[in-house]
Amino acid sequence: MNNLAEMPLDSLLTTHPCVADFFGSLGLATANVPHPLATWLEQLPDEAFFDAGMEREQILTHIKRLIDEIQAMGEADNGQVGSLILIGGRDKSGVAENIQLNLRAGEIVCIVGPTGSGKSRLLGDIECLAQGDTPSGRRVLIDGRPPDDERRYTLDRKLVAQLSQNMNFVVDLSVREFIDMHARCRMVADPEAMTGQVIACANDLTGEKFTAEVSVTQLSGGQTRALMIADAALLSASPIVLIDEIENAGVDRKRALELLVTGEKIVLISTHDPLLALRGDRRIVIRNGGIAEIIVTSDLERRNLERIERLDATIMDIRDRLRRGLRIEEDILWTA
């Protein structure tokens, strides 16, 4: 790296496309420059640096850091997380939670409680891998240990991905371009194949199929949700996924959960949807900002879940037929 300044700019740009992007963002023309980087920088007029917003030295340092960073990203090991342990803190009145919750990869736990009871606070604690330094005083251990600072604070390799309820797409890209952009920044080996896989998987989850060419901003709520769940399961860097409610909007929630679990993710869902809440092995009950109870799903509840699933299937079928422009006139059999 010491001889970076001596490298001919042309070959530097070929070996490190990120440097070409960087010069592009500075508005510096770099086409066909066979001179070494340092010579080229030396020849540029001072005005060019002023317009670019960086000095020569700063540009050299930046390029060096940029190349290091890209290399670090490529080598970064996201690793799997085998377990997450949540050590209780206190509720809003300061009462100790006296609880330790152990979660394993491939496990789904739901969080239930009235609005304002503190479900988001719990998700927030896990999201930031709290170490007794949030108002709740909770602590999170990853694979039995407190996460080191680097794991805690990396930004784009976060351990925790959060699918929030009210998300929007800001970029105006087709679904294919959008997922491809994500795959490339995740540096997966074959971004095109991965993109195809995510889109196929998302279509599997939603009743309303969409093509890869449709713009993400035109997707319905259900399609958006399906796409984000498929992406979180297959492409997201994070081994822990937090979901703030999966609405009923045309997403096959059962398959969505199966998909997330097969990815060996640890999944926490804040929800009151019976299909989700009863599917998990356990559910966390939140009251007054604290974990009031952890309910293990009983056999009776599992039996009821099967009934609810049949009811849900009936409604999904009606929904599908409505979408196709059919009449709903038969005597509906509530087989539950």
Selection from 279, 169, 128, 162 nearest residue 232 by Cα? 162
Closest separation in Å from C-beta 178 to another protein:
7
End-to-end CA distance of the chain: 69
* Residue 243 vs 305, nearer CB to another protein: 243
Closest separation in Å from C-beta 103 to another protein:
20
Closest separation in Å from C-beta 182 to another protein:
5
* Residue 47 vs 329, nearer CB to another protein: 47
Closest separation in Å from C-beta 155 to another protein:
4
* Residue 125 vs 312, nearer CB to another protein: 125
Q: What are phi and psi of 240, to 5 degrees?
A: -120, 130
Q: How far apart are CA 99 and CA 137, in angstroms?
A: 12
Give contact residues for another protein (rule: CB under 8 A): 18, 21-22, 25, 50, 53-55, 58, 62, 65-66, 68-70, 73, 120, 124, 127-128, 133-134, 153, 155-156, 158, 161-164, 166-171, 178-179, 181-182, 185-186, 224, 228, 231-232, 235-237
Closest separation in Å from C-beta 130 to another protein:
8
Closest separation in Å from C-beta 55 to another protein:
7
Closest separation in Å from C-beta 301 to another protein:
31
* Residue 144 vs 221, nearer CB to another protein: 221
* Residue 121 vs 312, nearer CB to another protein: 121
Contact 121, 304 (CB under 8 A): no
Selection from 121, 153, 152, 118 nearest residue 134 by Cα? 121
Closest separation in Å from C-beta 6 to another protein:
21
Distance of CA 116 to the CA centre of its chain: 24
Selection from 16, 146, 31, 153 nearest residue 71 by Cα? 16
Q: Which amino acid is at 113?
A: G
Query: What distances in angstroms separate CA 231 from CA 37, 181, 240, one per listed residue?
Result: 39, 12, 13
* Residue 78 vs 304, nearer CB to another protein: 78
Query: What distances in angstroms separate CA 43 from CA 13, 21, 48, 120, 131, one per listed residue?
Result: 18, 20, 10, 55, 52
* Residue 139 vs 182, nearer CB to another protein: 182
Contact 81, 266 (CB under 8 A): yes
Q: Is the dihedral of CA 253, 256, 261, 266 positive or negative?
A: negative
Q: How far apart are CA 126 and CA 210, in angstroms?
A: 33
* Residue 31 vs 300, nearer CB to another protein: 31
